[in-house]
Structures are given as structure tokens and as C-alpha cells.
Structure 1
Amino acid sequence: MAGSVSPATGRAYGVARVCKVWGVARSSFYLARRLAQDPAPLRPKGRRGPKPSVSDATLIDALRADLARSPRSGQGHRKVWARLRVLDGLKVARKRILRLMRENALLSPHRARPRPGEDHDRKIVTDAPNVMWATDGPQITTVRDGKVWLFATVEHWNAEALGWHMSKRGTRREAVQAMSMAVRQQFGHLGRDAARGVQLRHDHASCFMADEFQKQIKAWGMTPSFAFLGQPETNGVVERFFRTLKEQIVHGRVFGTSEHARAAVRDFIARYNAEWLVEKNAHLSPTALRRQHELAAMPMAA
């Protein structure tokens, strides 16, 4: 039809005009004509463009080897990607690591939950240390001592565990113990206004809302910052810390007594602060980022 001559003008109708009248894209016309001439596939199957320097098979072997050498369980693709870059020198895209881990069932099992509308601005990470801390207190089950409470105080800036306390009871006094360890560690004393200017993010649990707890943190000069009701992500820094702790030393493990659980928590927090790679820290550990910050501040102080 496109090659037919119009009796009125004496010219060929043309491909563009015929496709416009029929409502067909010109690319579809040319593709159909090419397939009619050569029915072979137009392009080979597989990934288009230049081939990567590291093949998928080699990269899968590296992924399995990295997961096998890691003493931790339930690793996400971001930490695996960071370790491959830092330790093995494999410079590959993060999304490629995610794709290969997903296709080969190497990702940590997780559940995706629907998220309701949010009333906050989704920024809880600070730009400097000692601006906002967070505290919370989940429970850990033991065989002989039943459930024990673990209170911890975490820095919003670098996700560092500053203080912790484990006990059979979960009252305001035990919650203060974790705070006192953090205040002493960061400021060197527990006197009045020792932590002036620090905001403390916590939920509405009775141990944190108690007058004794609130009076104590105010005596240290701290300001309470309450998490939004029904939105635990507003206390997400300490919630994420406890999720990591449970994945590494609680889930799939049985503690005989509270002392066994306490020893495991003590060892984990020491390794976490020194070795755990945190994405928001540019894949540095909390201790490494703090050391980097202190070294950068030294010339300014001089």
C-alpha cells in the first residue's frame, strides 16, 4: 500500500502516511518487513552491551565464599557488596549483587509489611555526635531465668551502642542504668548537666515515662524526644540495633541463664561497635567513624 501511487497526485502514498492512517508505528512496519526477509532473531539473547569483567558464575562463587567466611548470620546484600569491594577488590554494582543473591536464594529471609502514612519528616539521623540518643528495652528468653530485659542506649549519629544493662526486672531504675553507662562513657562523669543539649528518643513505655527516669535525664541536662505512637520507625535507630542483635545472637540460640545471655550481649556489642559496617556511615563501623570524626576535628581545636 505504501508503494501505491495516488491517482490524484501521481505520487506514492509513503510509509509515514499509511502508518498514520492505520494507526501503526513505523518501527512496527519496518520490523515486520525485516522479519519477513530474515526470520532469524534480530539480536542474541542475554545481557546487552559490553560484557562485565567479572562473570556471574565467578561472582556467585565469591558471594558464597563471603557468606561462608562471615561469623554472622542473616547478612543483607549491602554489607556483602561492601565487603567484596573492601576485602576482595571486586568492584561491581550493588544492584547486581542484589539480583544474584535474590536469584540464588542467598538473601536473609525477611517479611515486607505495608507501611501506613507517616506524620514525620523521615530524618532521624544527626550530622554530629551527642545531638540525639535513643533507648529501648526488649526482652531475651532464657531457660532457667525466664525472660530478662536488655536496655541499651544508641547514638543516632553513627548507630554506636553507648551503654547497656541487662536485668530480670524492666523498671525505670534498670533503664537509668543503661543511660548512666552512656553518659559516663561520653562525658566522663554523672554530675548535673553532664549531657546538656542531648535529646533522648524513646517510646511511651512505663519505664521511660516514669517520673524517676524523666527527672534523672533532665538532671543530666537531656531533653526527652518521644517517638510517635504506632510508628516505631521514629525510634528506628535503636530498633534497628536490636534487630541486628537479635538476628546475630538471639534467634536460633538457646541461653541457659541470664549470665550466658549477658556474656553474649557483651561480646556482640564490643564486636558491633568495632567491626559492624553501617551503610549510613559510608560502610564504616561506629568506632571507625567516631575516630575519623575526632581526627578531622583535631586541627580545628588546635
Structure 2
Amino acid sequence: METKTKSKRKKHPEQFKLEAVRLLETRGERTVADVAAGLGVAESLLHSWKKKYGSAAAQVRKERGGETAEEELMRLRREVTQLRQERDVLKKSVAGLREGPLVSPYELVDSEKAAFPVAALCEAVGVSRSAYYAWRGSTPSARELANERLLAEIRSIHVENEARYGSPRIVDELRDRGHQVGKHRVARLMRENGIWARMRRRFRHTTDSKHKLPVAANLLAQNFTTTAPNQAWVGDITYVWTAEGWAYLAVLLDLYSRRVVGWAMRKSLSRELAVSALRQALTRRRPPNGLIHHTDRGSQYASQEYRGLLHQHGARCSMSAAGNCYDNAVAESFFATLKKELVHGCAFETRSEAYDAISDYIENYYNAKRRHSAAGNQSPINFELANSGRLAA
């Protein structure tokens, strides 16, 4: 007697559902069936998500004024910093009223300037900085002026790097620009003025390791240190949401400098995606025999075509132990950085738009400009040029 097996219902991430509702609400002349087909889901699912998320999503967008969640978080953190400063200033003011004769706003600013930024104090008590300095009958102190100039430089670096740098990297950038600054001073100025780096979110796996293809031993064994380029590469695949649907990104990084040596994007999670990234890396780097190529156990990497290409170029295949994310921590860390610094702050309308943004991030920012702690706080390209001299930028 034939028995029927119950198929598992596919689980969709919350973000996917919210984006699906947004597409449904802004579909224009497209039908519900068109939207469902584009997303690869049933119309009934779209209707149920619309019922559950539609009004809530619209309200959130209205309240945010078009902000992304990342932008809203950073704005709220700045506001919290400002409110805390104002609260503490007001506490000091009330305490002063109870303990003695009335003090003017200017006297309060003057008495608390060692504990709070002058700008924050003036704003809290409702006077301008110029009025305060005029009352004091003097110009700002050398330290105050230096802090204002330093803060302007910090803001400039923060904007140039699109809020991707926290205080440690900003300190390195300031020192490269000739400023002799301490890390605690920079961290304090950033904290007091609500300047924060973007937040990192949880990483989710993309590749499918449940297959019957042969897998390789773990040659890397979590040793992510090399002494020269092209001794070991690590790779992985992630996904990026666009209004057209998912796009998939495969990358390969050189452990020596953490440079992205090969990458590819496609609209489907296929073997060809991984192969394209590998071909690009092989063409760009021309590695010698013996290169260790490490990935997880995904079917894309275990395929005959992929492993054949590695063998053809004298590379040794290495794969993570089953279910051990730490074995491929460098590749996963890159994706976490990419998502934090670019993807989570964007709403891509098309896959082409996502491709262009990620291409610019990898080639013009991450490889060429972004400081990496594993590369001596230099960019991957600068680290290779300074230490090996064997590779052209």
C-alpha cells in the first residue's frame, strides 16, 4: 500500500514577508498572481501576510518617515544620548537651586563644562554657545577648540565611511591624518555626540550541506593565519533581498590580507554561481600549486565541476566539519560586515542595483580603503603592497 509523506512547509524569514507585503501594496498594474509568481509563493500566502503585516508595516513606514530600520536606530541612539545629557544637566540645575542662590544658565554651563560638552550644555539650558562665550568674556579654551576641530574631523570620517567605522578605526584614520589622539578621547567625543557605527545582525546560512556528494577533510583546522598571499582562500555564499526577489552572492577571500579575490552574484543559488566566483579568483590571482581552498560542505562546492576546477589548478580542497560555523569564521565575518555596513541600510529595487552597490563596496571600499584589524589596520590592497610587493593593486 502506498503511503503519502507529508511535505515540510517552507519557512520564510520575517523580512521576506514584510517585503512581500510592501511589493503587494505598491504593485501598480501587476496582479497579485504576478507578485506571487515573482516571489515564488502562493497567492493565499500573500493574502495571509497582507492581513497580518499590512497595516502594521504601513504604520511603521509612516512613523519612520521613510527611514530604514538602521537609520532609525542610529537616530534614536543620538536622541537618547542628547536626552541623557539634558536630563543630567537639569538634575544639576535643580540641585543647585535647592542648595543655594539662583544661578544663571551661563553659570551652570561654566560649572559643568568639565563633565559635559559645552554644545550639549548650551542646548540643554537654552542659550547659544556664542552668547555663553560672550558672557564669559573670553574665547573657548585651547582644549575646547581642539575638541571641536577633532569632532568635526570625526564626523567627516564617519560620513565618508557611511557610519561603518567605530572608534578604533576612526582613531587609526585620525592618526594617519596627523592627529595625535587617544582612543578614550575619541570614544568619549563620539559617545557624547551620538556618533555610532552600524549594528551587526545575526548571520544565516545559505548553502545546502545535506547532499550525498563527496566532502573534503578540514585542512585549515581553524588556522586563519598565513605568511604570504595565495596560501589559503576561504569562501561562502549569502543572500541579499531586492524588490525583484533574492540575489545570491558568492565570495572568496585570501586569508593573508582578507582581500576579496573573487565574487559573483546571480538570481539563483546554483553551482554556476560558485564556479563564476572561483574562475574570477583564479584569473585574478593565478595561485601556485598547493593553495588551500576552504569552504563549508555546500553542494555548490562539493560538485564535480567545482572540485575539478580546483584540481586543474593544483589547489587542495578543504571543508568545514558538519555544522561547525567556526571552521569558516573569516568568510562568515565578511558577510556580517557587508550586511552591517551596506545591505541592512539599503532597500534595493532591482538585482542590478544590488549588484552595483555590492561591486562598489567590494572593489572600491572593502579591498581598497576599509581598514582591517587582521591586515595591520590597513586596507587589504595596501597591506599586500606594503608587505609582499608581489601583487599589483
Q: 1:150 aligns with which of 249, 253, 276?
A: 249
Alignment match, 1:127: 227
Residue type at the aligned position of 1:279: S
1:112–1:246 distance in 2 versus 1, CA, 3 Å: closer
Are the counterparts in 2 of residues 139 and 149 from structure 1 also a CA contact under 8 Å? Answer: yes
Describe the superposition over 1:123-146 as per-residue Cα deviations: whole angstroms up to 9, x where unpaired: 4121211111011110111112x1
Alignment match, 1:180: 279
Alignment match, 2:180: 91
Q: 2:295 aligns with which of 184, 197, 202?
A: 202
Are the counterparts in 2 of residues 183 and 195 from structure 1 also a CA contact under 8 Å? Answer: no
Alignment match, 2:238: 138
Q: Answer with 1 or 2: which has the greater Rg.
A: 1
Describe the superposition over 1:222-265 as per-residue Cα deviations: whole angstroms up to 9, x where unpaired: 11222244442332222222222222321121112211111112
Partner-residue secondary structure (3-state), 1:274 = coil
Are the counterparts in 1 of residues 252 and 281 from structure 2 also a CA contact under 8 Å? Answer: yes
Describe the superposition over 1:97-125 as per-residue Cα deviations: whole angstroms up to 9, x where unpaired: 34554565433254699xxxxxx986412
Are the counterparts in 1 of residues 274 and 300 from structure 2 also a CA contact under 8 Å? Answer: yes
Alignment match, 2:26: none
Q: 1:288 aligns with which of 350, 360, 382?
A: 382
1:261–1:277 distance in 2 versus 1, CA, 3 Å: same
Deviation, structure 1 residue 209: 2.3
User: Structure 1 stretches of 5 or more lacking a match?
Assistant: 1-45, 48-52, 114-119, 188-193
1:265–1:110 distance in 2 versus 1, CA, 3 Å: closer
The whole-number CA distance in structure 1 between the counterparts of 2:200 and 2:363 is 29
RMSD over equivalenced CA pairs, Å: 3.0
Q: 2:316 aligns with which of 223, 237, 261?
A: 223
The aligned length equals 233
Q: Equivalent residues in 2 for 1:236-255 (5 A)?
A: 236-255=329-348
Residue type at the aligned position of 1:256: E
Q: 2:166 aligns with which of 76, 80, 93?
A: 76
Task: Normalising by structure 2, report the TM-score.
Answer: 0.53
Describe the superposition over 1:174-206 as per-residue Cα deviations: whole angstroms up to 9, x where unpaired: 20110110011111xxxxxx6421111111222
1:96–1:112 distance in 2 versus 1, CA, 3 Å: farther
- Counterpart check, 1:107 vs 2:192: no
1:96–1:121 distance in 2 versus 1, CA, 3 Å: farther
The whole-number CA distance in structure 1 between the counterparts of 2:222 and 2:342 is 29
The whole-number CA distance in structure 2 between the counterparts of 1:195 and 1:128 is 12
Are the counterparts in 1 of residues 199 and 340 from structure 2 also a CA contact under 8 Å? Answer: no
Deviation, structure 1 residue 287: 1.2
Deviation, structure 1 residue 170: 1.5
Q: 2:371 aligns with which of 277, 283, 286?
A: 277
Deviation, structure 1 residue 217: 1.4
Q: Percent identity?
A: 27
The whole-number CA distance in structure 2 between the counterparts of 1:65 and 1:195 is 44
Are the counterparts in 1 of residues 151 and 189 from structure 2 also a CA contact under 8 Å? Answer: no
Partner-residue secondary structure (3-state), 2:348 = coil
Are the counterparts in 2 of residues 63 and 80 from structure 1 also a CA contact under 8 Å? Answer: no
Are the counterparts in 1 of residues 370 and 378 from structure 2 also a CA contact under 8 Å? Answer: yes
1:95–1:282 distance in 2 versus 1, CA, 3 Å: farther
Are the counterparts in 1 of residues 263 and 280 from structure 2 also a CA contact under 8 Å? Answer: yes
Describe the superposition over 1:35-65 as per-residue Cα deviations: whole angstroms up to 9, x where unpaired: xxxxxxxxxxx99xxxxx9679548724642
Deviation, structure 1 residue 71: 3.7
The whole-number CA distance in structure 1 between the counterparts of 2:356 and 2:147 is 41
